[in-house]
Amino acid sequence: MDQSKTDNRKAWAQLWQRDKKANMAIIMAIVLVPLAAVIGLAIDSARKVTAVRHVQLALDAASLAALRALEDAENSDADVRTIGLDVFQANLETSQDDLECDDPSVSIDRTNLSVRVQAACQFDAMIGGGITGDNVRFNDVAQAKARALTLDVALMLDVSGSMEGEKLDFLKDGAKETVRTLVGGNTNDRVRVALVSFDTAVNAGAFGNAAQGLPETADEYNNGLDKVCVTERTGAEQYTDEEPGPFQWVGNLSPMCPDSSVLPLTSNLSTLNASIDSLVAVGSTAGHIAVAWSWYLISPKWGDILPASSRPHPYDGDALKVVILMTDGLFNIQYSASPSIGIALNLCDAMRANDILIYAIAFDAPATAQWMLKTCTGNPEERYYEAETGEDLLEAYSSIARELTALALAE
């Protein structure tokens, strides 16, 4: 074969190979453009989700802060708006650098005690906007509305002998911090707190004789009218909050109980602190009686034996009712055939059936007590706390108080 013809064929073959590479480059270029656009849009969409979430959190914080300011009658609408805007901007500073928001609008409704905060925000797209011009900026609007819930809260406080000393000091600090967070100084009667301390029994004080069906001046154990010891109710209404009456009186089988009496619902911070400061640790652990009285003091069915200012709100959905249980030991004494733990669990079941939220703190408590408290909450993942140290106890109370405060926020 002629060598020149052979060389020509090789040259054409090499040229064809080069042409195929060029074709592949063109194809890859065509494919990469939409692929890059898709990837860019996916990245921008993910960033948008993060941005919206951050803006919503900032709006939530702003509306709640503005609501707290609104509860103070000394604050003008301008003051409330300023506080809301400051909190919004402070939270926004922790967001991605290219997120920009206009100043939010703050709408105030003093009649219904509510605040609505709304903002429009946007940010530059990193990749998607560079490829598709109409997608350079994202715009979004988030809204948050805060409304003030009415709260009836009962704190059950263990003052049995095992709480003596430093443990009692931590309990007092935790309880006072809780009421200070909940009641503040400007919530008026929207938030009220009741206290139920217990050891061998419960001191029902001025309400004890009425709950036992005794004359107002009865003093069967010569303890004085400010120390009326009560025990559990028996019979058909043992696990209910029915008002005291014939065949449903509470018991009076113990001459011993705390010197500190129950304190019915109040929004007076000084009164609450004074009652907490008066706590003394002594005696056994009849916690089931305190569980019952924690319910009684927030139950509208018991309103007739309580002062008018302490009458619980109705079970109508407008008021949130909460019980916060706390103990460091086993419930180990009862005055009927039923064990203390069993009575407590049945009462907790009945409270939850009435839409009462139950929180519980086990303070350096044994396993059985932990199990009981977890069961009482009905939701241990969210409303049960274990505190091994005094610092843990303070944090548990603070966490619960913060959560209850946050329940004032609703979108």
- For 256-294, write each residue's pLDDT tens digit: 999 999 999 999 999 999 999 999 999 999 999 999 999
Averaged pLDDT, 59-85: 86
Mean pLDDT of the chain: 86
More confident site: 128 or 86: 86
From CA 399, how far away is CA 183, in angstroms rounded?
15
pLDDT band for 296, please (50, 70, 90 cuts).
Answer: very high
Higher pLDDT, 393 or 126: 393
Positive or negative CA dihedral for 253, 324, 352, 184?
Answer: positive
pLDDT at 2: 58
The answer to whether residue 213 scores a pLDDT higher than 90 is yes
Q: What is the DSSP string of 141-171?
A: EEEEEEE--EEEEEEEEE-SGGGTTHHHHHH
DSSP type of residue 313: P
Give the mean model confidence (pLDDT) for residues 1-26: 56
Q: What average pLDDT does this structure show over 332-360?
A: 97
Q: Which residues of 364-373 are buried (b: 16+ CB within 10 A; e: fewer)?
A: bbeeebbebb
Q: Where do the domains of the chain lie, and which CATH numbers do they carry?
A: 3-146 (no CATH), 150-406 (3.40.50.410)
Q: Looking at the predicted structure, is the pLDDT value of residue 4 above 70? A: no
Q: Which CB contacts under 8 angstroms, 24+ apart, belong to 48-53?
A: 48/123, 48/138, 48/140, 50/96, 51/95, 51/96, 51/99, 51/121, 51/123, 51/138, 51/140, 52/140, 52/142
Q: Residue 102 — pLDDT band, cuts 50, 70, 90?
A: confident
- 295 or 119, greater pLDDT: 295
* Of 9-18, 196-205, 344-353, 384-393, minimum mean pLDDT range: 9-18
pLDDT tens digit string along 105-150?
999 988 777 889 998 888 776 654 444 444 445 566 666 677 777 8
Residue 5 has pLDDT above 70, yes or no: no
Q: For the chain, what is the radius of gyration of the CA atoms?
A: 32
Question: What confidence tier does 188 reach under pLDDT thresholds 50, 70, 90?
Answer: confident
With a cut of 90, say whether residue 20 has pLDDT above it. Answer: no
Percent of the chain whose pLDDT exceeds 90: 62
The whole-number average pLDDT for the span 227-253 is 96
Distance of CA 357 to the CA centre of its chain: 10
Averaged pLDDT, 310-336: 93
Work out the average pLDDT over 200-218: 96
